[in-house]
Chains A and B, each alone.
Chain A
Amino acid sequence: MAIIKAVAMMLVIGALIGLFLGIAGKKFYVAPDTRVEDVLAMLPGYNCGGCGNPGCAGMASALVEGSCTVDKCKPCKADVKEQIKKYLAEHAK
């Protein structure tokens, strides 16, 4: 009998805490910054380092920060460059 009581109590407490944390999670939700990942997906991905950044991931975060321009990317095709420029203009903070 005692074990059933203990299990039931743990279930109730767990459910209450889960509910509370779920509500708190909605209330304190912070939208993650997906811009770096999006830009990285558009870059060619050769990691050539021609732009002066450590690979395409470094280039992507530099682009989002604004400390680098797309024109420095040599293997990037012209239309993709336009696409990235457009994306960064649209999603500026």
Chain B
Amino acid sequence: MNLFTLFLSAMLINNIILSKFLGMCPFMGVSTRTSNAFGMGIAVIFVIFGASLLSYALYYLVLVPLELEYMELITFILLIAAFVQLTDMIIKKHSPTLYKQLGIYLPLITTNCAVLYVAMDNITQKYNLIETIVNSIAVPAGFMLMLVIFATIRERLQGNDVPKAFAGNPIAFIIAAIMAIAFTSLSGLV
């Protein structure tokens, strides 16, 4: 598979949110304002890229030589938790406003299943280093794209007269469903 195809399919066609339904928690939680969604997207790109590369190195340099491949789940979780902790510290130091806005969703990147999915997917698909790098950028980029698009729709929605039964989260879930339907039409692209 050439790299561009890999990038496109990881970002749009097999989009992590709309076709795999992973990472729904920040998708619903941090999408009320575009600026927050943007900050969250950058944080997720940083975490997924760093954690995936580290887990890739750990798997092929430590686990395979030691014949401990079955330990991948627990070691990857450890790496991801440490990496999120580091991101937390960096954001707290350099951007207190973003730290306040993200609130609980920042440490919750640890439990964002998208992060673990990318790290494990790189191993199970037997990607080489270049493909791993491309995949680890494309997947969170798709996540960020969807998060920002969704946040802009929700921002527009705030001024609208939503029926009382659908106000708040219900209408957001309906919009997410419509977005997912719209994105299935991309599946014939590659």
Residues on A facing B (Cβ under 8 Å): 2, 5-6, 9-10, 13-14, 17, 20-21, 24-25, 28-30
- Pick from A6, A20, A28: contact of B71, CB below 8 A: A6
Interface size on B, residues (CB 8 A): 19
CB under 8 Å from chain A, chain B span 32-81: 58, 62-63, 66-68, 71, 74-75, 78-79
How many Å from the CB of A5 to the closest CB on chain B?
Answer: 6
- Pick from B68, B82, B93: contact of A9, CB below 8 A: B68
**Which of B63, B89, B90 is most buried by chain A, counting CB atoms within 10 A of its CB?**
B89
- Pick from B63, B82, B96: contact of A20, CB below 8 A: B82
Enumerate chain B residues within 8 angstroms of A24, measured Cβ to Cβ: 86, 89
- Decide: A17 and B78 in contact? CB cutoff 8 A: yes
CB-based A-B contact count at 8 angstroms: 39
- Pick from B74, B82, B90, B93: contact of A10, CB below 8 A: B74
Query: Chain B, 81-122, contact with A by CB distance < 8 Å: what is the 0/1 string?
Result: 010011001101100100000000000000000000000000
Enumerate chain B residues within 8 angstroms of A13, measured Cβ to Cβ: 58, 62, 75, 78
